[in-house]
Amino acid sequence: MRRRDFLALLTAAPALSATLSVRPESAQAADRTVTDSAGRKVAVPAKIDRVFAAGSPAAITLYTIVPDKLAGWPDVVSEEAKRYLPAKYAALPITGRLTGRANTANVESVLAARPNIVVDTGTIAPIYASLADRVQEQSGIPYLLFDGALTRTAALYEQLGPIVGAPDKANELAGYAREVLTRIKERLDFVPRDQKARVYYARGPRGLETGLAGSINAEMLDFVGAVNVAATGEKRNIATVSPEQILEWDPEAIVTVDKRFYRAVWSDPIWANVAAVKYKRIYLAPDRPFGWFDSPPAVNRLIGLRWLCAKLYSGYFNDDLGPITRDFYRRFYHIDLADAQLTALLEPAG
Distance from C-alpha of 48 to C-alpha of 28, rounded to nearest angstrom = 9
Give the per-residue pLDDT at 30: 61
pLDDT at position 235: 72
User: Which has the minimum average pLDDT: 139-148, 244-253, 294-303, 340-349?
Assistant: 340-349
Asked if the model's pLDDT at residue 5 lies above 50, the reply is no
Largest Cα separation within the chain, whole Å, is: 63
Task: For the beta carbon of residue 213, count every other beta carbon within 10 angstroms.
Answer: 19
More confident residue, 8 or 261: 261
What's the mean pLDDT when you consider all of the chain?
Answer: 90
- Any idea which of 20-34, 117-131, 156-170, 314-328 has the lowest mean pLDDT? 20-34
pLDDT of the residue at 101: 64
Q: Which CATH superfamily is 7-182 part of?
A: Nitrogenase molybdenum iron protein domain (3.40.50.1980)
CATH number of the domain at 190-346, please? Answer: 3.40.50.1980
Q: pLDDT tens digit string along 84-143? A: 999 999 999 999 999 866 677 889 999 999 999 999 998 888 989 999 999 999 999 999
Give the rounded percent of residues in the chain with a pLDDT score beyond 90: 80
Q: CA dist 200 to 227, 230, 259, 264, 266, Å?
A: 9, 7, 16, 16, 15
**The residue count for the chain:** 350
DSSP class of residue 211?
A: E
Q: Pick from 311, 310, 307: which is nearest to 282 by CA?
A: 311
- Give me the percent of the chain exceeding a pLDDT of 70: 90
Q: What is the pLDDT of residue 192?
A: 94
Q: What's the CA dihedral at 38, 44, 46, 52 to 10 degrees? A: -90
Domain map (residue ranges) of the chain:
7-182, 190-346
β-pairing verdict for 209-211 and 238-240 = antiparallel
Answer yes or no: are the C-beta atoms of 332 and 299 closer than 8 Å: yes
With beta carbons less than 8 A apart as the criterion, state whether 303 and 218 touch. Answer: no
Write out pLDDT tens, residues 178-226: 999 999 999 999 999 899 989 999 999 999 999 999 888 999 999 999 9
Q: Residues 26-69: pLDDT tens digits?
A: 445 568 999 999 999 999 999 999 999 999 999 999 999 999 99
Asked if 85 and 341 touch (Cβ cutoff 8 Å), the reply is no
The yes-or-no answer to whether 7-182 and 190-346 have a common fold is yes
Q: Phi then psi for 298, rounded to 5 degrees?
A: -140, -155
77 has pLDDT over 60: yes
- How far is it, in rounded angstroms, from Cα 192 to Cα 75? 41
User: Minimal CA–CA distance to 59: which of 73, 80, 75?
Assistant: 73
CA-CA distance, 314 to 319, in Å (whole number)? 9
| pLDDT the model gives residue 17 | 32
SS3 of residue 47 by DSSP: coil
Q: What is the pLDDT of residue 252?
A: 96
Decide if pLDDT at 14 tops 60.
no
